[in-house]
């Protein structure tokens, strides 16, 4: 994130570029959980990663306020946190050993310590034809297959090169949610890299209805502005964003200045995407529900849930959260603290569950496992 893209400098951010096999560059930003955090590749895996994927026409900078809120909350209680290591695994015994009192207390301490204050690295990247990433191919060729391939390539790079030891949680907003869900669906190799997925204000039925009005919306949208502040004001009045603080951060990176006229134009031409956007959200509901990892759908209001996801949610196939309070589509900007709290709890709960499972695997004696797996059923 450049200094020009945000009025506030994030003290622990770092930018980079990922180059794919076609030599195309994709811009990404890493937000570390604290000033003392080690370089990404040197982390021991104790701090999970939240990879955020933005929607159409936006950029990775739209997660700036969410990342800042996650870091701010973790640093507030940093001095109060204590280390509560798990006890060593049992070394003998025929049956499954019960968890000792000290182990139970340790697990409770971990839950209490981490709670809503759980550290995490936040990683964002600009999609193709967005932000500072490559515009190769142009917006009119930005179909779902292209977006999924770009995402999978970056996920592989991030997991293998940036954070090889950390658990990955994914957060996708709008089109970003559809890209993640569709890319992971049926892809076992990619699924193994992911511990959980949060889909934000992305529902197949609702999105398809919104696309039907997209052309009219774009016709009313100015193609340029005399100043950046004019674009920010327009976004607040007509663009669907309700937070002035959020617009001041997320809107400027969407613009580029014409050096001849001095006018500010949109970096990404949404008009050119009309030929491909019809396929962006097809099959999204089924793809999301079928994912084997932990899942949470977070919407601005309950009315955005379509029939298919309503049925799946009633069957307990995913966690459903509603922001409410008049929040708009740009949840990360309009309800930053609320979304951050839900993200922390989701990641913490699943990280703690994974830790418990690792502990149980360590404490189950090998001879117990061998006898239970080879024992023959009674006649």
pLDDT tens per residue, range 215-247: 999 999 999 999 999 999 999 999 889 999 999
**Which residue among the candidates 5, 133, 166, 174 is catalytic per the annotation?**
174
Structural domain including 186 reads: 46-71+117-212+274-361
In angstroms, the CA 13 to CA 141 distance is: 32
User: What CATH number is given to the structural domain containing 125?
Assistant: 3.40.50.1820
In angstroms, the CA 18 to CA 367 distance is: 47
| Residue 145 lies inside a defined structural domain of this protein | yes
Q: What is the pLDDT of residues 55-97, one digit of tens each?
A: 999 999 999 999 999 987 655 444 334 333 334 443 333 444 4
pLDDT for the residue numbered 353: 85
Considering its fold, how many domains does the chain have in total? 1
Residue 84 bears catalytic tag: no
In angstroms, the CA 131 to CA 228 distance is: 16
- 180, 49, 175: which is closest to 120 by C-alpha? 49
**Which residue among the candidates 150, 195, 329, 334 is catalytic per the annotation?**
329
| Residue 269 lies inside a defined structural domain of this protein | no
| Residue 201 lies inside a defined structural domain of this protein | yes
Residue 334 bears catalytic tag: no
| Residue 254 lies inside a defined structural domain of this protein | no
Range scoring the smallest mean pLDDT among 264-273, 289-298, 345-354: 345-354
Instruction: Look up the pTM and report it.
Output: 0.82
**Which residue among the candidates 126, 150, 201, 285 is catalytic per the annotation?**
201
| Residue 174 lies inside a defined structural domain of this protein | yes
* Pairing outcome for strands 319-322 and 196-200: unpaired
Residue 174 bears catalytic tag: yes
Would you say residue 105 has pLDDT above 60? no
Name the pLDDT band for 104 (thresholds 50, 70, 90): very low
Mean of the pLDDT values across residues 140-161?
Answer: 97
Pull the structure tokens for residue 367: 């001879």
pLDDT for the residue numbered 34: 63
In angstroms, the CA 39 to CA 166 distance is: 12
In angstroms, the CA 298 to CA 324 distance is: 10
pLDDT for the residue numbered 40: 61
In angstroms, the CA 342 to CA 347 distance is: 9
Helix (H, G, I), strand (E, B) or coil at 167: coil
| Residue 299 lies inside a defined structural domain of this protein | yes
In angstroms, the CA 290 to CA 71 distance is: 32
| Residue 278 lies inside a defined structural domain of this protein | yes
| Residue 218 lies inside a defined structural domain of this protein | no
């Amino acid at each position: 994130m450049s200094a020009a893209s945000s009025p506030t400098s994030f003290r622990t951010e770092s930018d980079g570029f990922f180059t794919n096999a076609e030599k195309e560059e994709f811009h990404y930003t890493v937000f570390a959980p604290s000033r003392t955090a080690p370089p990404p590749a040197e982390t021991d895996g104790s701090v999970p990663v939240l990879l955020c994927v933005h929607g159409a026409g936006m950029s990775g900078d739209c997660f700036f306020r969410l990342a800042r809120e996650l870091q701010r909350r973790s640093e507030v209680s940093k001095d109060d946190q204590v280390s509560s290591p798990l006890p060593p695994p049992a070394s003998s015994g025929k049956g499954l050993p019960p968890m000792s009192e000290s182990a139970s207390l340790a697990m409770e301490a971990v839950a209490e310590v981490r709670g809503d204050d759980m550290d995490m690295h936040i990683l964002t990247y600009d999609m193709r034809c967005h932000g500072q990433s490559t515009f190769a191919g142009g917006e009119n060729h930005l179909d779902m297959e292209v977006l999924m391939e770009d995402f999978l390539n970056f996920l592989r790079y991030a997991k293998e090169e940036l954070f090889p030891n950390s658990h990955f949680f994914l957060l996708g907003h709008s089109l970003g949610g559809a890209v993640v869900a569709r890319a992971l669906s049926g892809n076992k190799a990619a699924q193994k890299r992911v511990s959980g997925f949060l889909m934000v204000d992305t529902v197949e039925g609702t999105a398809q209805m919104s696309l039907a009005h997209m052309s009219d919306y774009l016709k009313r949208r100015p193609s340029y502005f005399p100043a950046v502040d004019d674009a920010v004001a327009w976004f607040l009045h007509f663009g669907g964003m309700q937070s002035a603080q959020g617009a001041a951060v997320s809107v400027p990176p969407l613009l580029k200045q014409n050096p001849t006229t001095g006018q500010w134009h949109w970096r990404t031409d949404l008009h050119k995407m009309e030929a491909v956007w019809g396929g962006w959200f097809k099959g999204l509901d089924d793809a999301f529900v079928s994912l084997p990892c932990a899942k949470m759908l977070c919407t601005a209001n309950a009315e955005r849930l379509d029939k298919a996801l309503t049925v799946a949610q009633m069957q307990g196939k995913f966690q459903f959260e509603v922001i409410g309070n008049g929040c708009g589509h740009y949840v990360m900007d309009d309800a930053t603290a609320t979304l951050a709290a839900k993200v922390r709890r989701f990641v913490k709960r699943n990280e703690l569950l994974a830790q418990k499972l690792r502990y149980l695997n360590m404490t189950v004696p090998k001879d117990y496992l061998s006898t239970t797996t080879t024992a023959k059923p009674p006649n």
